[in-house]
Every structure is written in structure tokens, then in C-alpha cells.
Amino acid sequence: MQFPVQARLKDGTPVVITQATEADVPAFQALYGLIVQEGWSYPHQRPLTREETYAYWFEGKTTIGAFLDETEANTELLGGFYLKPNWPGRARFVANAGFMVAPHWRRKGLGWLLGALMLRHARDMGYRGVIFNLVFSQNHIARALWEKLGFVTVGVIPQAIVNDDGTCQDAIMMYRSLIADPGCP
């Protein structure tokens, strides 16, 4: 799987999906700030600083950004994901990933495209599967997307998330194998 990848969203918008660099940290910080404010998909309760954004989205990870493909410089970040080993050492072949798409760019197929590219990239990197540790049970949008990409629920952490209004919701763990034959290499 070679980045950059050029593609078009459902409405014809041209996008380039490419490896993000440290120069993109402010754009990830701004977008993740919006996601945190929405409050229904990630655990953070306040927007992250630049350093925290680097630690959460970049450090020790493959970080991919989707940009509007209109200019030479990749100016507008439409979405992105990170990919990293979920556990160290002997269990490092199971990956974990995090995704976000900017509110105004949703429902155009970008989430699905990023998810499909992540799976292909993870397989090429030698991962044997991908686990999502903390899908909010009330995040029906993400759950539908992950199911569409072949993830199944492997666990439920009851009432793991306390919503801002004091109500609770479960955390769902979802898994997608990347190997046809579950035997060991």
C-alpha cells in the first residue's frame, strides 16, 4: 500500500490521502478539538494542546491525513487516522486505529475510504488484525461503518463511559482479522 492515494468522494471532491507530518499537527489539533467538543466518539473532555495532539495522533504511530486535492500544498485536512500496535512485543501484530472526519465532510464516503485504506495498509505492514478498544455504544454511525468494513463485536465494557449529562453508555470492543488462515506464520 503506497501513499499518497488520490481519490474522489461521492460528490466528486478530489482528495489526496497521504502520510501526515509534524507540520500537520496544528490541523489535527483543530479537527480533533471539534470532535472532542461533539463529545460522542472519543474520551477526551477538553481540546488537546499541540503537544498532547502530537502524543495522541502521531507519536509511535502511522498517521494518515485526507486533504482537499486542489493545491500543491495540502492545506485543508478533511479527516485522518492513526495506526499503531495495540500491545507491545509478542502481541504487537494486532493493531489499533483511531479515525475522524471533519463534520462538514461527512456522509461523502471518506470514513469508509479511510477505513478500507487502513485495513490494506495494516495488512501490508504485517498486522494480523485490528482492534477498536473503545467504540462508544451510542456511536451508531461508527458502529455501522466498522461493521460494513468487516469488524465484529468481541466485547462490551458495561457503562464504561460517563456522558457529560451524567448518563452512562457501554464501550464496545470491535475486531477485524486480516488473515485468511488463522494459523501462525
Give min distance, CB of 169 to ligand COA, in A. 13
| One of 112, 129, 150, 170 touching ligand COA (CB under 6 A) | 112
5-8 vs 14-19, strand pairing mode: antiparallel
Near ligand COA by CB under 6 A, which window of 57-65, 84-92, 138-146, 159-167? 138-146
- CA–CA separation, 18 vs 65, rounded Å? 6
CA distances from 21 to 15, 27, 65, 168 (A): 17, 11, 9, 36
Cβ-based nearer residue to ligand COA, 120 or 126:
120
Binding of residue 108 to ligand COA (CB under 6 A): yes
Binding of residue 106 to ligand COA (CB under 6 A): yes
Nearest to 80 by CA among 144, 35, 131, 146: 35
Cβ-based nearer residue to ligand COA, 11 or 72:
11
Dihedral sign, Cα of residue 57, residue 63, residue 66, residue 67 = positive
Binding of residue 176 to ligand COA (CB under 6 A): no
Near ligand COA by CB under 6 A, which window of 46-54, 87-95, 107-115, 156-164? 107-115
Q: Give yes or no for a contact between 95 and 86, defined as CB atoms under 8 angstroms apart.
A: yes
C-alpha 55 chain-centroid distance: 15
Binding footprint of ligand COA, residue count (CB under 6 A): 20
Residues lying near ligand COA in the complex (CB under 6 A) are found at 35, 41, 99-101, 106-112, 132, 135, 139, 141-142, 144-145, 148
